[in-house]
Amino acid sequence: MYDGPMPHPDTIPPKILRRIVPHVSEQHLDFGCGPGYWTYYIGHSRAESRIIGYDISEEKLCFARRRHGKDNILFTQSLEAIAHSGGFDSATLMFVLHEAGLSVMPCLRGLLSEGGRLFVIDYHLKGCGRRRFAEMFSTDPEMRELDAIGFEQAYAIHTSISLDDCIEAGEAAGFMTLERDILWNKYFMWVGEKKG
Ligand SMILES: C[S@@+](CC[C@H](N)C(=O)[O-])C[C@H]1O[C@@H](n2cnc3c(N)ncnc32)[C@H](O)[C@@H]1O
């Protein structure tokens, strides 16, 4: 059973989420929701919205259902079920792109309705040296669970995708860039809108 760490409310993602929450629509998808901390934050902040948390890990979803269950949130592993839910007006991809890879962009486009917005947050670490990564690896609250995969694999995964790669893949998949930002020289944020 997944029993990951509980992030402190002052960790960086809530600060980022405060920028996203005002744009969360009635029907929102948190793709790669993991243990559901940020799904819950979004669902709690937008009680009138219906939030779907989707992930490939049943173990993390079990944890999410147990710890972060809420009337307006559904956690599921079924991509088919979410594909039939009628199209999302907004979606978040929080720290998922480096794991899922850029090929996930066309899938997100298919799940969003026309004009729907995709908010991508990920590490801004492409080209980062091993020394800087080692410092983050040992101190960053979002990386605490990575001990299990080891330093070398964590380094390879987290330094493989840049904001420019994200933009290129997003635009190639049919999104128009609305916003791009580097946050605290540590994360990037990209907001894309699905073109017709
Ligand atoms: C680093 S965790 C981030 C979890 C959560 N978004 C957060 O910020 O706490 C990455 C998550 O992406 C999920 N994931 C990776 N590839 C995926 C894919 N192709 N489809 C759905 N989920 C995926 C993993 O199972 C994992 O839970």
Alpha carbon of 34 to ligand 1 centroid (Å): 5
Query: Residue 17 gets which letter from DSSP?
Result: H
What's the pLDDT tens digit per position in 13-37? 788 888 899 999 999 999 999 999 9
123 located within any domain:
yes
Q: List pLDDT tens digits, range 43-67.
A: 999 999 999 999 999 999 999 999 9
CA of 47 to the centre of ligand 1 (A): 23
Q: Would residue 157 be called left, alpha or beta, if left means φ above 0 and alpha means ψ between -120 and 50 degrees?
A: alpha
Residue 37 CB less than 6 A away from ligand 1: yes
Pair type for strands 187-194 and 175-183: antiparallel
- Looking at residue 84, its pLDDT comes to 77
Q: Report whether pLDDT(8) > 70.
A: no
Closest CA to 54 of 38, 78, 87: 78
Has residue 6 been placed in a domain? no
Could you tell me if residue 66 is inside a domain?
Answer: yes
Residue (of 139, 132, 130, 124) closest to 181 by Cα position: 124
Cα separation of 145 and 147, whole Å? 6
> 34 CB less than 6 Å from ligand 1?
yes
Whether 1 is covered by a domain: the verdict is: no
Cβ(54)–Cβ(74) below 8 Å: no
Please, which residues have CB within 8 angstroms of residue 175's CB and are 6 or more apart in sequence?
105, 109, 118, 192, 193, 194, 195
Residue 3 located in a structural domain: no
Q: Which domain holds residue 103?
A: 12-194
Side-chain half-sphere of 139: how many Cα atoms within 13 Å? 8
123 lines ligand 1 (CB under 6 A): no
Give tens-digit pLDDT for 137-156: 888 766 766 777 889 999 99
| Dist. CA 108 → ligand 1 center (Å) | 14
- How confident is the model at residue 11, as a pLDDT? 66
Q: Which atom of ligand 1 is nearest to the CA of 34?
A: 27
Rounded distance from Cα 29 to ligand 1 centre (Å):
13
CA angle in degrees (0–180, nearest 5) for 2-87-119: 60
Ligand 1 in reach of 97 Cβ (< 6 A) = no
Instruction: Report which protein residue has its CA nearest ligand 1's atom 15.
Output: 100
Please report whether residue 135 resides in a domain. yes
Confirm if 157 and 171 have CB atoms less than 8 A apart. no
Ligand 1 center from residue 5 Cα (angstroms): 15
- Largest separation between any pair of C-alpha atoms in the chain: 46
CATH number of the domain that 70 lies in?
3.40.50.150
Q: State the total domains in the chain.
A: 1
pLDDT in tens, 108-136: 999 999 999 999 999 999 999 999 999 88
Query: Per residue in 21-39, is it b (16+ CB within 10 Å) or e — as a string?
Result: beebbebbbbbbbbbbbbb
Distance 92 CA to ligand 1 centre (A): 11
* Residues 75-92, mean pLDDT to the nearest whole number: 88
Domain-located, residue 166: yes
Q: Is the pLDDT of residue 10 over 70?
A: no
Closest ligand 1 atom number to CA of residue 37: 9
| pTM, two decimal places | 0.93
